[in-house]
Chains A and B, each alone.
Chain A
Amino acid sequence: MTDENIANHLKSLKKYTPARIGVGRTGTRPLTKDFLSFRTDHAAAVDAVYGEVSSKLIEELDLFSVETCYETKDHYLKRPDKGRILSEEAKTIIKEKCTPNPQVQIVVSDGLSASAIDENILDVYPALLDSLSMYGLNIGTPFFVKGGRVACMDDIGEILAPEAFILLIGERPGLVCAHSLSAYMCYQPKKGMKESDRMVISNIHRSGTPAIEAAAHMGTLISKMLDQKKSGVGLVI
């Protein structure tokens, strides 16, 4: 095969998969640009895990901020249980600032990717408010939870007793995308709730599920939860 032929064949193989193929080698090792690009993607993923959500952004969205019992990032990673419960201080602030028993409670949390919030929240959050208002739903006082895990929605549910709940949280970063956001939803969150009662829209980012589409889908799901008074596998969509 001529070099040009090989290049064309490689191109035809590469179009079928996002895997890093057709990269070539020097000796048995990869070429420098591919090696550095792989390490760069990993660096972005690590920075997303260890990063902090911009406080300016939280202010801009008019959210107040509370913390779980996670204490430090290292502890957060070692003890997922601590990210599921709110600190005593957080509970007091939430009780003080939030309207209890709202129809829909929205909470934003960094989770495993601070950059998921930084990159997406300005697209997703306003679109979500629009989508919920189209269904004429009343929305509780939204806030930001630092060091949250998905099940922190249960602890918050115990305090505010919302009818439906939406948690926008950063996903564990991959090398393809370090800033993917998930929206976890459920009906009447409370302690000991089954994982199968939660519903999720994942992969929300600019080259994944677009913000507008995700927000519209969340609105539909929430209104169905409120109609059918349940969430999870039993919800008829």
Chain B
Amino acid sequence: MYKKTTLLGITYEFHSLKEIMAKANEEKSGDELAGISAENMKERMAARAVLAETTLSDIRSYPVVAPEKDDVSKLIEENVNEEIYGVIKNWTVADLREYILNDEHLSKELLQIGTGLTSEMIAAVTKIMSNLDLIQAASKITVITHCQTKIGQKGVLASRAQPNHPSDHLAGIRASLFEALSYGIGDAVIGINPVIDTTDNIYALLNETKEVIDRFDIPTQNCVLSHISSQMRAIEKGAPADMIFQSLAGTQTGNESFGISISMLEEATSLIFEKGTAEGQNRWYFETGQGSELSADAHFDVDQLTLESRCYGLAKHFNPFIVNTVVGFIGPEYLYDSKQVIRAGLEDHFMGKIHGLPMGVDVCYTNHMSADQNDMDNLSTLLSTAGVNFVIGVPMADDCMLNYQSLSFHDIATLRNVLGVSAAPEFADWLKKQGLTISSGQLTKQAGDPSFFL
């Protein structure tokens, strides 16, 4: 695809859709590292002008990664709802943006349009949307999913309790989990990142979390975020897992670098439906994050936003219970500072939602990134107003195992309080019954004390 445009007296030429897509992005250090970003602000705007006039059928005709060579492309292509696509294929990306933001079009309309779009079309429209556009659009979309409990309802801000421990010490994990529960955190999932990826250890961690859930009759679900194959071995041995987890990349080569394939994901799906401990139809937990394909040298000169969108195209195929981007974990060579992380968080959340995904965000940063906890205050507030399905909490925002910072339990309780949103309905009832909250959702005197559960 060749396009030419004149902007402010300068003529810009683009030689492929891939080039237009990359140059139309907001500034990201990862696209600079890949050598594909716009040279200056004017070229960035020229690329956006061209992209805005590109039709959806053009985007479909020029795949950024050929479906013959990449199973993620193939899957996305096969999952397009042809009936919807047929109606909108002559729309430009600008038309799509205006349809999405039109206030006559609400959750139902946006989710329906989403089925006729490829992940690349969704990435394209995201590139010509402002931060507030992304918040407005995402806030209209409701995606409710059901594993052991249901989350995603309007006015609900759910949370993952992440009680990690540097040596997977069970009593240590339990202590952190009690702290989380005492602040009303853990309604989306109790999810542990293990240090030791052996079958026996995954078994022990699943057992431990399930035991706490059963003992206190907590309406939530458990998950251990190890490689899919060790979870499968543990589940086959009888470990109680409500969900199964995997990190995803937006290309086949990227997924190979994670040691996974689509057929493995399908195999795991069968297993979790056969042997999983939950009741609902959504049994997957996926994590993603801009930049992972470049870091695995599996990006094919495609920009990181487009590749991230393709992760969602892949995720959608498996009807997950929860998905989150680990937005600030990857490091400054992909997202340099708070401005880039905040932008990426809003982009990922919107893209996930219009794909029809139960989208959450790990609002986070590493110590070599130009960001601090105030930036996480900002991003979590923005995402909560955008209706993010869930966020992640660790004690005082400091993950003592993964060595990065996310949100604290205090932060999530504060967001609920300030924005008038609540924990997931079943979990909110449980909190009230335990005497940790009053009807308004406000914490009682007993809350915020882990010894409450001793």
Binding site for B on A (CB under 8 A): 1, 6, 9-10, 12-14, 16-25, 27-30, 34, 38-39, 41-42, 45-46, 48-49, 77-81, 112, 172-176, 178
Asked whether B186 is an interface residue with its Cβ less than 8 Å from the other chain, the reply is no
Contacts A45-B367, A78-B333; A21 near B451 (Cβ below 8 A):
no
11 new A-B pairs (CB below 8 Å) besides A175-B398, A175-B403?
A: A9-B454, A14-B175, A16-B175, A17-B172, A17-B176, A19-B176, A20-B398, A21-B175, A22-B449, A27-B417, A174-B367
Whose C-beta in chain B lies nearest to the C-beta of A42? B372
Q: Which of A1, A25, A49 makes the CB contact (< 8 A) with B451? A: A1
The smallest beta-carbon distance between A150 and chain B, in angstroms, is 14
Whose C-beta in chain A lies nearest to the C-beta of B397? A38
In contact, A172 and B333 (Cβ under 8 angstroms) = no
How many chain-B residues does the 8 Å CB contact rule pick out? 46
Whose C-beta in chain B lies nearest to the C-beta of A11? B451
Asked whether B108 is an interface residue with its Cβ less than 8 Å from the other chain, the reply is no
The smallest beta-carbon distance between A118 and chain B, in angstroms, is 17
Within 8 A of A (CB), among B432-454: 443, 448-451, 454
Contacts A25-B448, A78-B33; A19 near B175 (Cβ below 8 A):
yes
Q: Which of B394, B413, B448, B451 has the most chain A CB within a 10 Å cutoff?
A: B451
In contact, A17 and B450 (Cβ under 8 angstroms) = no
Binding site for A on B (CB under 8 A): 29, 32-33, 163-166, 169, 171-176, 178-179, 183, 332-333, 336, 366-370, 372-373, 394-398, 400, 403, 405, 408, 410, 413-414, 417, 443, 448-451, 454
**Chain B residues, Cβ within 8 Å of A173:** 367-368
The answer for the CA separation of A30 and B366 in the assembled complex, in Å, is: 21
Q: Which of A6, A30, A41, A79 makes the CB contact (< 8 A) with B333? A: A79
| Interface of B, helix, strand, loop or mixed by DSSP | mixed
Contacts A49-B368, A77-B332, A78-B32; A6 near B451 (Cβ below 8 A):
yes
**Chain A residues, Cβ within 8 Å of B397:** 38
In contact, A39 and B367 (Cβ under 8 angstroms) = no
The answer for the CA separation of A13 and B453 in the assembled complex, in Å, is: 11
23 contacts between A and B (CB under 8 A): A6-B449, A6-B451, A16-B172, A16-B175, A17-B176, A19-B165, A20-B398, A21-B450, A22-B451, A24-B449, A27-B414, A28-B410, A28-B443, A38-B396, A41-B398, A45-B367, A46-B367, A77-B368, A77-B369, A77-B370, A80-B333, A176-B400, A178-B367
